[in-house]
Amino acid sequence: MKILIVDDEEMIRAVLREYVEFEGGEAEEASDGMEAVRKCREGEYDVVLMDVMMPKLDGFSAVKEIRKFSSVPVIMLSARGEEYDKLFGFELGSDDYVTKPFSPKEVMARIHAVVRRGQRTHTGEVYEFEGLKIDVTGRNVYVDGEKADLTPKEYELLFYFVQNAGVALTRERLLNKVWGYDFYGDDRTVDTHVKMLRGNLKEYRKFIITLRGLGYKFEA
């Protein structure tokens, strides 16, 4: 497991590096967004831990640049926990968002969850519902013949919905199965991603039904 730790605070980088190496992983560091983009171009990582507020190039801008050439999982680190900031990070293509101050153990749990999701293998499944086509193996979604621009987490969420079509899914179950660990009851994470996913599915958003007080269900 190779992790890139991006933060302008040397102490935070050192602590996270210690935990990564303690668990047998390899860690590299970057002190600003520009250095992070350069390292992602030159090397390969299993996960990038990306601070938001940094000099030269902030974390959001760095993720936007990285997404132009790489789909490496990114976990945002920020002292700003507002829903807008989380939503913006997810829209840019980040996979997770951890609010400072955080527990290094929690960060490691989230890293392992992201890595496990990346190791999942899908069977050669293709689903079609009216003008919505979902290619699980290729991780492609088409809306009326046009490829939808979904973030990695939106793909995971949609695939899980489809593979459990007709089943009432609680927010807690979605957090556990799609995110892979306990989000400590932050159900808004699910709602935010469902909102983004529905927007990308256009008229086929109708297939994702809200179950008031419970969660969601995919029904076509």
Question: What region, left, alpha or beta, does residue 79 occupy, with left being phi > 0 and alpha being psi -120 to 50 degrees?
Answer: alpha
Query: CB neighbours (10 Å) of residue 201?
Result: 20
Name the pTM for this structure: 0.62
CA–CA separation, 182 and 188 (whole Å) = 13
CA–CA separation, 99 and 53 (whole Å) = 12
Going by C-alpha positions, the residue among 83, 88, 52, 77 that lies closest to residue 186 is: 83
* Number of residues assigned to the chain: 220
HSE toward the beta carbon, residue 167, CA cutoff 13 A: 11
Longest dimension (CA), the chain: 53
Domains and CATH numbers, the chain: 2-119 (3.40.50.2300), 126-218 (1.10.10.10)
Query: What local confidence, expressed as pLDDT, does residue 201 receive?
Result: 95
Instruction: Give pLDDT tens digits along the chain (220 positions).
Output: 899 999 999 999 999 999 999 999 999 999 999 999 999 999 989 999 999 999 889 999 999 999 888 888 899 998 876 677 777 888 887 888 888 888 898 899 888 887 776 655 444 578 889 999 988 777 889 999 999 988 888 888 998 898 888 899 998 888 888 877 655 546 778 888 899 999 999 999 999 999 988 999 999 8
